[in-house]
Homo-oligomer: A and B are copies of this chain.
Amino acid sequence: MRPIFAKSWTSFSPLARGVGRGRWQVSRLSSTISPVAAPSTKSRLSSARVLVVGAVFFGVGATLWAGEAFYLAAEEAKGEPSYVPVNKATPGVPGADPAYPKTMTINGEELPVATCFGSDMADINKPRLVILGSGWGATSILKHTQDLDANGYYTVVLSPTNYFLFTPLLPEATTGTTECRSLIESIRKICFRSRAHYCEAAAQDVHFDLKMVEVIGVDGRHFLVPYDKLVIGVGAMNNTFGVPGVRENARFLKDIQDARYLRHKLMTNFETAALPTTSEEERKRLLSFVIAGGGPTGVEYAAELYDFLHEDLMKYFPDLTSSDVSVTIVQSADHILNTFSEAISLYAEERFKKHNINVVTNARVTKVDPGVLTYRNKNAKAGEVDTFEIPFGICLWSTGIGLRDFTKRLVDKIDMQKNKRAIEVDSRLRMKGVEGVYALGDCATIENPNMMEIVKQSFVETGKDSLDYDTFQSVIASIVDRFPQTAMHLEKLQNLFEKYDLDKNRRLDMTEIAVLVDETNKKLTSLPATAQVARQQGEYMAKKLNKLAWTPSAEGSMAVENTLKPFNYKHLGSFSYVGGDSAVIDLGGGRTGGGFGAFLLWRGAYLAKQVSLRTRVLLALDWTKRMFGRYDCSSPRS
């Protein structure tokens, strides 16, 4: 972000300042409105409207947290929850709950069974709810089930990281637009509010038959944690797609350590490039930033680099010229941001062109050597040179996600788990093939319906070989009810009926319906692996857990679960920052926008979605700081 008030600061007359700011906004506005190559102007929200909406949203977000500040501070000042512990046990003693053995033998090894986390044993006999992970899904559950244990659970959260990380802003932390600490919130603090117990341990395995989770504590020792209900939200890991050298020579951007490493590496590369002993070739290599993957993470990293390079860095590094620096995105698809509308891809590419950020599309990375990335042009004609090398100082790898070892272990155990890329759950987030286990977020995928089976069933039930409109309506309704993800493809029933009634006999026979089902199946995709999906799933799980808390028996639970609505994802919009105080927004259904308005909307939305007052205030301060200040180009190691 540019120091937007910089120009007006030279004059101290408040009037002059007002004018200066006004002028700047007008020029900004006009650049926002300027048409970009979009396939249809109708399909885009007018930029001016986005600007207004963005400004309003940002303003509301900013004042909201001020208000919430008072509320939460008052809440926190109340201190301890108002219940009294019944009896105290020596902390952490295995065997605190006599319903479980003190140790169990797993694969020939005797492991302790931990039943007590924390000295308060008032809830120890309640059903045990174990949550694996501390990311978006887990945190969303905890946030939406305040006083979880008072509702009937002894809740234990197990995760190897004792903080929640606001992942969408990670690219900002790589240059220092936001500080790392502003993006993380202590999971113990979040647990405290919902009376959950936390333990820093990584999930190793789940012994479904014993209803035990095997974990490895931060000290490396294995132990078992029993559960009655288990929620798996361990996330995913970066996928190298088998490209050799990625792990050794490129860097992912998934955790706060990655952001810190990238920030330190960026500055060290600049310092090394500025040494009088560095040759021109080496300098260009050190200052070449290559990003494999043109999704939001890659695009935002490129955008942050652009901001960083074009604001202060050249000023503080007089030894370097901007021609020494290059930023390149290598994308395998036709366009960057290819999960967004095409209008957005084109807008972002246009901007990047203006910013001298190279975008290489249709390129498949074949290997990553130390300092050199090799790719193959997928569209090269026979006889043409198709393999290219790009020397780099930093290579960011952000091409997609893959299964964690833990998740793979679980999927391999259960026969009903057919999808080998994630834990398959039904539309109520229940892991398929086991009882009492739920999964959400990046480690889970919701099964798509076998619609043909349902349709066949209804043919059998009605005993006819074709369906009239009313029956058709009820069959589709039952599908939509069980699989909400089909809703958007199956709405406007009248139209559908007419479209697929090929012989126009006011009835749909099996062949006609088969065409409908086939086309709908093609449109059905898995939910994207985003924070938004995990957060909504967490909220859904929280509501369900709150309801289930009052139905202790297994049969009762099942009955209650089946009456609850299945999970239905509501897409609230995707954002991506593209540099120079501009963002793009895709609200779905072709409604898109880009520019400064979208930028305000983006920041406002992220401010609103913070899990705690602390990070909200810190983030607002970081952004305010950037508005006036400059980047901090020091590079303390680790």
Residues of A at the B interface (CB closer than 8 Å) are 3, 6-7, 9-10, 12, 70, 73-74, 76-78, 80, 90-94, 112, 114, 116-120, 161-163, 176, 179-181, 184-189, 192, 197, 199-201, 217-219, 221, 223, 255-257, 260-261, 267-268, 271-272, 274-278, 280, 283, 315-321, 614, 617-618, 621, 625, 628-630, 632-638
Contact = CB atoms under 8 A, between A and B. Distances in A.
6 contacts: A91-B274, A199-B276, A200-B275, A219-B275, A621-B621, A638-B638
A325 to B, nearest CB: 13
Nearest to A91: B319
B92 A278 contact: yes
A614 B632 contact: yes
A217 B321 CA distance: 20
Contacts of A321: 91, 119
A274 B188 CA distance: 12
Nearest to A74: B9
A199 to B, nearest CB: 6
Contacts of A185: 632, 634
A275 B318 contact: no
Given A118-B318, A185-B632, 12 more contacts: A7-B77, A9-B73, A91-B321, A92-B276, A117-B274, A179-B181, A184-B632, A188-B633, A188-B634, A217-B272, A218-B272, A638-B638
The oligomer's copy count stands at 2
Contact of A186 (B277, B283, B634): B634
A158 to B, nearest CB: 11
Contacts of A120: 318
A455 to B, nearest CB: 51
Contact of A199 (B9, B10, B179, B274): B274
A621 B3 CA distance: 20
Contacts of A319: 91-92, 117-119
Centre residue among A93, A185, A200 by max chain B CB count within 10 A = A200
B184 A636 contact: yes
A257 B94 contact: no
Contacts of A6: 76-77
Nearest to A161: B636
A275 B217 contact: yes
A176 B634 CA distance: 19
A271 B134 CA distance: 15
Centre residue among A116, A181, A277, A629 by max chain B CB count within 10 A = A277
A178 to B, nearest CB: 11
A267 B162 contact: yes
A218 B70 contact: no
Contacts of A184: 632, 634, 636
A450 B261 CA distance: 54
A130 B256 CA distance: 38
Contact of A218 (B77, B180, B199, B268): B268
Given A256-B636, A636-B184, A74 B278 contact: no
A391 to B, nearest CB: 16
A91 B638 CA distance: 30
Contact of A188 (B187, B197, B316): B316
Nearest to A269: B218
B635 A163 contact: yes
Contacts of A638: 257, 260-261, 638
Contacts of A218: 268, 271-272, 275
Centre residue among A117, A257, A274, A317 by max chain B CB count within 10 A = A274
Nearest to A223: B277
Contacts of A188: 316-317, 633-634
A176 B317 CA distance: 31
Nearest to A180: B636
Centre residue among A184, A189, A256, A617 by max chain B CB count within 10 A = A189
A343 B635 CA distance: 42
A-B complex: 10 closest residue pairs judged by Cβ atoms? A163-B634, A638-B638, A114-B276, A118-B318, A200-B271, A9-B77, A92-B276, A188-B316, A186-B634, A91-B319
A423 to B, nearest CB: 27
Centre residue among A180, A217, A318 by max chain B CB count within 10 A = A318
Contacts of A76: 6, 9, 630
A192 B317 CA distance: 9
